[in-house]
Amino acid sequence: MKEKLPLGKRPEVRIVGKAPEEAKEEARKLLSALFGEYHLADMTEEMLQEIKEKELQKDRIDRDIIKAANEMINELLQQWGLQPFDIPDNNIHIIPDSLYGKIFTRMKIGDEMGATRLSQQAIFINGEFKNKDFLDYLTGLFHEICHLKGYYAEELIKNNSDSYARKGYRIGFISAFPVEKLKRIGKNPKRTIVNFLGLNEAVVSDVVNVYTKEVLLKVGNEEALKSIEQLNHEGLLEGKSYLDQLEVLEFVIKSIAEKTNLDEKVVRTLFHKAHFSGNILEIGRLVEETFGKGSFRFLGTMDSGGKSALRVLDHLQKQKRLLEKKE
């Protein structure tokens, strides 16, 4: 069982690309620093000042939720033979709704409650939700911590000068098509081409759904215990922004379990583990075995919108019926 890293340290980030080893080592050092006190280093001075002036101070409830979420995920990481580590409180910023919208609505990342910026090793939470619904707030914060503790790799891309730019290459299930490969085949897209965005959000939401009760028990305050009673009566479906993606994930898990005679809990755990380990080969094999050749790549086309999820679900259902007819 691996020992937890000291606070402020994270597992080494894999760096890919044709950059020399010295440049990759510099990128690793930068990411290590970003995980500490310099995680907002690439923001403008104006934005940094605004965050410092308007950021809401964390209270005991915030700190208890962060501690409980860290502990829960670390227990899973240890079970899976992965490196446990904590997200420091300082890497999580609770900011007013107006500032949150200014930063993230324009960038179209995250949802209305929270967003994780892996390149900065930082989480931003919309403070408007803090005093509304305790359970929603806890699950939203847990969701973003799952993102930041997930697998992460970067690609170094050479600029016109001798310097290199950092780009996200793997984020949990999400994979970005390597920019250098695109350039070699004569393409220079204005935006990074990514796959498995929808699946990644579904898996993170599912992790939260499965383990929220244990996080609540770790928090242990009066509101947490009331929320457990609420869960016992109503159940939980975190990820309201990704309901269609969760439906696709549930269908895929059940179908794999039927095809392989594996227990559904085992299949679900394989998806959860892959988000944190970055090893998606086994998932790809199981999906292809269940739905046919090319189905894993098609699953990767699901984004965070509802239309793509419905299209992917329809395709996988048809593929499953076709294979069943052949058997």
Q: Which two tokens stand for residue 173?
A: 């299930």
pLDDT of residue 110 exceeding 70 = no
- The mean pLDDT of 18-35, rounded to a whole number, is 87
The pLDDT value recorded for residue 325 is 86
Type of residue found at 10:
R
Contact (CB, 8 A) for 175 and 167: no
- Among residues 176, 108, 174, 107, the alpha carbon closest in space to that of 147 is found at 174
Q: How confident is the model at residue 109 (pLDDT cuts 50, 70, 90)?
A: very low
pLDDT of residue 229 exceeding 70 = yes
- The mean pLDDT of 56-81, rounded to a whole number, is 97
The pLDDT value recorded for residue 183 is 53
Name the percent of the chain lying above pLDDT 90: 62
pLDDT of residue 96 exceeding 80 = yes
**Edge-to-edge strands, sheet with 122-126:** 92-95, 122-126, 114-117
pLDDT of residue 127 exceeding 60 = yes
Lowest mean pLDDT among 140-149, 188-197, 208-217, 275-284: 188-197
The pLDDT value recorded for residue 191 is 52
Lowest mean pLDDT among 1-10, 44-53, 168-177, 227-236: 227-236
pLDDT of residue 171 exceeding 90 = yes
| Mean pLDDT, rounded, of the chain | 88
H or E element: which one contains 222?
helix 222-234
* Residue 200 CA from chain centroid, whole number: 6
- Among residues 228, 234, 202, 203, the alpha carbon closest in space to that of 214 is found at 228
pLDDT digits (tens, 9 = 90+) for 135-163: 999 999 999 999 999 999 998 888 777 78
- The mean pLDDT of 174-193, rounded to a whole number, is 59
- Among residues 105, 92, 222, the alpha carbon closest in space to that of 149 is found at 92
**Structure letter (DSSP) for residue 185:** T
More confident residue, 45 or 63: 63
Give the Cα separation of 205 and 238 in Å (integer).
Answer: 6
Lowest mean pLDDT among 79-93, 122-136, 146-160, 236-250: 236-250
**Structure letter (DSSP) for residue 92:** E
pLDDT of residue 201 exceeding 80 = yes
The pLDDT value recorded for residue 177 is 64
- Show me where the domains of the chain are located: 196-327
**Structure letter (DSSP) for residue 118:** G
Q: Which residues contact 210 (CB under 8 A, 6 or more apart)?
A: 268, 272
- The mean pLDDT of 208-221, rounded to a whole number, is 95
- The mean pLDDT of 267-292, rounded to a whole number, is 97
pLDDT of residue 85 exceeding 70 = yes
Lowest mean pLDDT among 43-57, 128-142, 172-186, 288-302: 172-186
Alpha helices in the chain (DSSP H): 21-34, 45-54, 60-79, 97-100, 134-148, 179-184, 197-219, 222-234, 243-260, 264-277, 281-291, 295-299, 306-326
Q: How confident is the model at residue 30 (pLDDT cuts 50, 70, 90)?
A: confident
Alpha helices in 80-196 (DSSP H): 97-100, 134-148, 179-184
Helix (H), strand (E) counts: the chain: 13, 8
- The mean pLDDT of 201-223, rounded to a whole number, is 95
pLDDT of residue 214 exceeding 90 = yes
Q: Which two tokens stand for residue 80?
A: 């899976």
- Is the entire prediction scored with pTM above 0.85? yes
